[in-house]
Amino acid sequence: MAIPHIEKEVERRRTFAIISHPDAGKTTLTEKLLLYGGAIHLAGAVKAKKNQKNTTSDWMELEKQRGISISTSVLQFDYHGNQINLLDTPGHKDFSEDTYRTLTAADAAVMLIDAAKGVEPQTRKLFEVCRMRGLPIFTFINKLDRPSREPLDLIDELEKVLGIRSCPMAWPIGTGDRFRGVYDRISNEVLFFESEDRANQSGRLEPKKIDANDPDFWKMLGGPRGDLDEAKELYETFRSENELLEFAGDQFDHAAVLAGQLTPVFFGSAMNNFGVERFLQRFIELAPSPVGRVGVYDQRDAEPVKKVVVPTSDQFSGFFFKIQANMDPAHRDRVAFMRVCSGHFERNMEVTHSRLGKKVKLSKPLNFFAQERVIVEDAWPGDIVGMLDTTGELRIGDTVCTTAGGASVFEYQGVPRFSPEHFAQMLIKDPMKRKQLQKGLEQLAEEGVVQIYRQRGMGDKDPVLGAVGALQFEVLQHRLLGEYGVDTKIEKMGFVHARWVVGSDLRPEEFDRREDTRCLEDRDGQPVILFKSDWSLRWAVDNHKTLEFRTTAPEIRGTGKKK
């Protein structure tokens, strides 16, 4: 029997994350989006995290000390009947595997780019993760009110640097001091730019608009002084750029957008709240609602079978993509964040934990907002629910599902581990605390704070730690001390790349002999090679044609079984 309303509930959901380089304006954009959803009423409520005040996701001691958001949570709001789930990814200089993993719970990504800077390194890394998953990507080019690079240049860069085709949905007229607004290529309207201060003074809620076919439109490009020469010049540039886009640009193709092959591009200024609402509207129109995900069904005596589980299925299912211990230091609790993938989630529901093969009751589902915890009564595909993990049994990548009506148990394909770029060994100040250290390391590795690699033949002794961002080591030390009472020292190692290696010809000694490479094992006993430079990685790839060097670990799925 179909679940009432499920189609409608799935259809109205959009679950996405914003990817960007620090300072591109993610906090500012998030804040404006939340204002549209009425989720916050005070401008600056999100921003305040930088000033170390109460904020939406600022709960960890270290975050408070540094005034940054290290953890990831979800911001949910309603916009004209649509349920928006914005996965909040950390926006500080450093970033962690958490950021990558969050993208596995998203159905789309918004790539935010600073118009003066173009594609920056962190955006590129995050983009690669989105591409790996085939996520649809929407581009918002921000800070047009400031001196910017040529818009055509920026578009070109998307293709050259990221290798993605793009289709501008809007086009800016002028930039910086001469930024006059954006032309909406779909509605054929020009939206005139006004700084937020000026817009507030005039009490205008929406930007002034004009049809681009209006013969007098060009005269309005003269800015506050009404300079007609300037107006003419801006208009000519606008016209020739648009002609170029018409003839040489990629045509809009919704299927290509949904397949992650074409990115629709928007322009605006988040700080001035200009272009943001139009972007949100188009995003809702074009971004996908939750789609089916591949489930793996174990067979007794045969290879597992893979089948797509549709969100509108009667069978409830979800997977855990993030675990956070000690969210509330007073309670020392552990919260596992679940993405609902199919069916209807209801509080106190009994589900099967696929990896452990046992029934569990989901009795403490939570939502977090502005440091408040709210019990969730129900949720739909695309929603994120925090689950209080009282038994400590949940792991990243775990699937839960119902089995009513004889539905089979399955697991979603795992959440991959990503190759770290920072490596270190840990020294303990008090050797009596070795046991606590081991326990802490294991738990925090499970959360994904760091990855642990064994040195071959040394068992669990003196492991090498790997992190996607260097700040993760600081987080690790801070938490080991605060939560496990272990004071540690970190000794950084000179490696910069790690690759999981697949192939029967691997001879680990060959890599251990060299000064610039080292062969280790991950928690599942899979070989991982560390490299000290781009050059040594290239050398290995060129000279070992029979080996495959992977940037992500084979799936985490079923780690419990392997252990």
Among 57, 122, 269, 313, binds ligand G4P (CB under 6 A): 269
How far apart, in whole angstroms, are the C-alpha atoms of residue 269 and residue 275? Answer: 7
Contacts 24+ apart (CB under 8 A), 276-281: 276/29, 276/32, 276/33, 276/36, 277/36, 277/206, 278/170, 278/182, 278/184, 278/191, 279/138, 279/140, 280/33, 280/36, 280/79
Minimum CB separation of residue 2 from ligand G4P in Å reads 42
In the bound state with ligand G4P, the residue whose beta carbon lies nearer, of 277 and 522, is 277
How far apart, in whole angstroms, are the C-alpha atoms of residue 155 and residue 164? Answer: 10
How far apart, in whole angstroms, are the C-alpha atoms of residue 173 and residue 170? Answer: 10
In the bound state with ligand G4P, the residue whose beta carbon lies nearer, of 60 and 437, is 60
In the bound state with ligand G4P, the residue whose beta carbon lies nearer, of 67 and 292, is 67
Question: CA–CA distance from 400 to each of 7, 36, 325, 357, 442 (Å)?
Answer: 21, 34, 20, 10, 23
Q: Is 20 a residue that touches ligand G4P (CB under 6 A)?
A: yes
Minimum CB separation of residue 146 from ligand G4P in Å reads 4
* Cβ atoms of residues 560 and 540 within 8 Å: no
Among 75, 155, 212, 271, binds ligand G4P (CB under 6 A): 271
The amino acid occupying position 394 is: L
Displacement of CA 257 from its chain's centroid (Å): 18
Minimum CB separation of residue 30 from ligand G4P in Å reads 8
Among 142, 289, 354, 443, binds ligand G4P (CB under 6 A): 142
Minimum CB separation of residue 342 from ligand G4P in Å reads 33
In the bound state with ligand G4P, the residue whose beta carbon lies nearer, of 69 and 317, is 69
Minimum CB separation of residue 283 from ligand G4P in Å reads 17
411-450 residues near ligand G4P, rule: CB under 6 A: none
Q: Tell me the torsion sign for CA atoms 541, 165, 21, 18.
A: negative
Minimum CB separation of residue 280 from ligand G4P in Å reads 15
SS3 call for 442: helix
In the bound state with ligand G4P, the residue whose beta carbon lies nearer, of 89 and 324, is 89
Determine the interface stretch with ligand G4P among 16-24, 288-296, 349-357, 427-435 (rule: CB under 6 A).
16-24
Among 88, 145, 184, 383, binds ligand G4P (CB under 6 A): 145
Displacement of CA 70 from its chain's centroid (Å): 13
The CA-based dihedral angle spanning residues 479, 481, 487, 489, taken in that order and rounded to the nearest 10 degrees: 20
Minimum CB separation of residue 275 from ligand G4P in Å reads 9
CB atoms within 10 A of CB 464: 24
Among 12, 22, 148, 280, binds ligand G4P (CB under 6 A): 22
In the bound state with ligand G4P, the residue whose beta carbon lies nearer, of 55 and 326, is 55
Q: Mention every residue, 6+ apart, whose C-beta is less than 8 A from residue 431.
A: none
Determine the interface stretch with ligand G4P among 18-26, 277-285, 359-367, 464-472 (rule: CB under 6 A).
18-26
In the bound state with ligand G4P, the residue whose beta carbon lies nearer, of 172 and 463, is 172
How far apart, in whole angstroms, are the C-alpha atoms of residue 96 and residue 445? Answer: 12
How far apart, in whole angstroms, are the C-alpha atoms of residue 163 and residue 155? Answer: 11
Among 87, 199, 270, 540, binds ligand G4P (CB under 6 A): 270
75-114 residues near ligand G4P, rule: CB under 6 A: 91
Helix axes 471-484, 434-447, angle to 10 degrees: 130
In the bound state with ligand G4P, the residue whose beta carbon lies nearer, of 117 and 165, is 117
In the bound state with ligand G4P, the residue whose beta carbon lies nearer, of 67 and 288, is 67
How far apart, in whole angstroms, are the C-alpha atoms of residue 120 and residue 25? Answer: 13
Determine the interface stretch with ligand G4P among 5-13, 149-157, 217-225, 270-278 (rule: CB under 6 A).
270-278
Determine the interface stretch with ligand G4P among 21-29, 155-163, 216-224, 431-439 (rule: CB under 6 A).
21-29
24-63 residues near ligand G4P, rule: CB under 6 A: 24-28
Residue 244 has φ and ψ, to the nearest 5°, of: -60, -45
SS3 content of the chain, % helix, strand, coil (to 5): 30, 30, 40
How far apart, in whole angstroms, are the C-alpha atoms of residue 210 and residue 242? Answer: 17
Q: Quick one: which H or E segment has residue 324?
A: strand 317-325
Minimum CB separation of residue 28 from ligand G4P in Å reads 3
Minimum CB separation of residue 222 from ligand G4P in Å reads 22
Minimum CB separation of residue 24 from ligand G4P in Å reads 5
Minimum CB separation of residue 62 from ligand G4P in Å reads 18
In the bound state with ligand G4P, the residue whose beta carbon lies nearer, of 469 and 527, is 469
SS3 call for 203: coil
SS3 call for 207: coil
In the bound state with ligand G4P, the residue whose beta carbon lies nearer, of 212 and 276, is 276
Determine the interface stretch with ligand G4P among 15-23, 354-362, 418-426, 516-524 (rule: CB under 6 A).
15-23
With tokens 């596995």, the residue in question is 104
Minimum CB separation of residue 511 from ligand G4P in Å reads 38
Minimum CB separation of residue 47 from ligand G4P in Å reads 6
Residues that bind ligand G4P (CB under 6 A): 20, 22-28, 91, 142-143, 145-146, 269-272
